[in-house]
């Protein structure tokens, strides 16, 4: 796996004259040459507006657009006409909230969310609840960050009409019991929305096996370009939903006083699409599949295990969530006693180590955990044991740099 790092040009640069140790992969990943070359080739040879022209170049652009859709469908084990291209996970979730939530939820219906949700899968449902009169009900994790059977039984009831949850937490890296949630939602007659932004880069997502109604993820967290995202939806649900955005290419016909809409999925793809990004996403999927899920998971779990073991040896460090590495997918969040998370991140950056500090777009979870912010280190296929060791060696000096005296070494 160490040779994978050579596929990523940005990882060859230096930060503060130090080797770049990129550990902010939960925010966005670096892009391999294979993806960069695919995007470059599209714009050099096939660039045109898909579904618009009858000339050969436009036909090639349309083929690139639809071939990318087919690639994503295969990646999720879905049908191509159940795949909608968006800008990112956030747009995908907003599309569901506005085209499904606003349309089909009503007063006193209950929307079940986890308190650990990213704001993108929380704020849209707040707006739906405010507009429709539906009620928000929150699932709260235990001290290790897990949702228990008791909590699911208590919160998913006959009043539940929609459950919207992240497959993997972007703060704790912990996978939810998605099968148990979907089983209870089916019994209640509720729809399930799965935010796969943090799961799709780390574990296979089979929407048919899970029997999830909607799923969303972003290309840029999956080694693809920014500006391209995916929404999966069961076709029978998508066909009932009005369009989220209106305009070019999502119409059937338009008259002065009326309009009809195109069939799914084009109904939800208004305007010119980011075909270059879609081509890059298809190439990123090919890249991941060439490595293999077993190799990816074994490698990333090894990095997480090494990091957790090292963190346990550093005094005055608190790690949040389950400490078993096999319970996490690429993410560790922590704080250093008496040091603001932003100061920790700044000091690590002086050694060329990039981590994220803040509330991670999960303020309700921060409030529930009793903290304002934390530091997050997140790992990807190109990270190495050397990256982990550099991170740990730098972190053990943070309190000393902040004037708290010497700390015991690793």
Q: How far apart are alpha carbons 40 and 44 in whole angstroms?
A: 6
Q: In 3-state terms, what secondary structure has residue 63?
A: helix
Alpha carbon distances (Å) from 283 to 40, 62, 71, 101: 12, 17, 9, 33
- Let me know if 361 is a catalytic residue: yes
Q: At what angle do helices 341-349 and 385-395 cross, to 10 degrees?
A: 120
Q: How far apart are alpha carbons 187 and 264 in whole angstroms?
A: 28
Q: At CA 360, angle to CA 147 and CA 100, rounded to 5?
A: 65
Query: Among 29, 2, 76, 68, which Cα is nearest to 198's?
Result: 29
Catalytic residue among 137, 262, 361, 371: 361
Q: Give yes or no for a contact between 228 and 217, defined as CB atoms under 8 angstroms apart.
A: no
Query: Among 386, 382, 379, 383, which Cα is nearest to 325's?
Result: 379
Name the strand (E) or helix (H) holding 303: helix 293-312
Residues annotated as catalytic are 361
């Amino acid at each position: 796996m160490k040779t994978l790092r050579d596929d990523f040009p940005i990882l060859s640069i230096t930060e503060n004259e130090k080797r770049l140790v990129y550990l902010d992969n939960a925010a966005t990943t670096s892009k391999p040459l294979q993806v960069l070359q695919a995007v470059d080739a599209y714009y050099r040879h096939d660039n045109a507006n898909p579904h618009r022209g009858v000339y050969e170049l436009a036909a090639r652009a349309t083929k690139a657009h639809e071939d990318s859709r087919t690639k994503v469908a295969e990646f999720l084990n879905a049908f191509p006409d159940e795949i909608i291209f968006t800008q990112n996970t956030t747009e995908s979730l907003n599309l569901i909230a506005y085209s499904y939530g606003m349309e089909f939820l009503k007063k006193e219906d209950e929307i079940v969310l986890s308190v650990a949700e990213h704001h993108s899968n929380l704020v849209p449902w707040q707006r739906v609840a405010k507009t429709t009169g539906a009620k928000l009900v929150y699932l709260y994790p235990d001290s290790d960050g897990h949702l228990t059977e008791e909590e699911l039984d208590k919160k998913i009831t006959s009043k539940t009409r929609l459950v919207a949850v992240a497959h993997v937490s972007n703060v704790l890296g912990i996978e939810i019991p998605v099968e148990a949630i979907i089983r209870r939602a089916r019994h209640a007659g509720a729809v399930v929305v799965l935010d796969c932004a943090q799961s799709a880069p780390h574990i296979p997502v089979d929407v048919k096996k899970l029997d999830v109604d909607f799923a969303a993820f972003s290309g840029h967290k999956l080694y693809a370009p920014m500006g391209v995202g995916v929404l999966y939806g069961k076709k029978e649900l998508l066909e009932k939903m009005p369009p989220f955005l209106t305009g070019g290419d999502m119409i059937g016909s338009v008259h002065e006083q009326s309009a009809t809409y195109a069939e799914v999925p084009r109904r939800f793809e208004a305007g010119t699409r980011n075909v270059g990004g879609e081509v890059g996403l298809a190439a990123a999927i090919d890249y991941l599949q060439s490595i293999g899920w077993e190799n990816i998971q074994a490698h990333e779990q090894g990095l997480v295990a090494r990091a957790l073991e090292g963190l346990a040896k550093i005094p005055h460090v608190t790690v949040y969530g389950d400490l078993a590495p096999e319970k996490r997918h690429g993410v560790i969040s922590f704080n250093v006693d008496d040091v603001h998370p932003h100061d920790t991140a700044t000091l690590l950056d002086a050694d060329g180590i990039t981590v994220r500090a803040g509330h991670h777009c999960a303020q309700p979870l921060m409030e529930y955990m009793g903290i304002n912010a934390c530091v997050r280190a997140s790992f990807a296929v190109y990270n190495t044991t050397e990256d982990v060791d550099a991170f740990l060696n730098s972190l053990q000096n943070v309190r000393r740099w902040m004037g708290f005296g010497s700390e015991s070494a690793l």
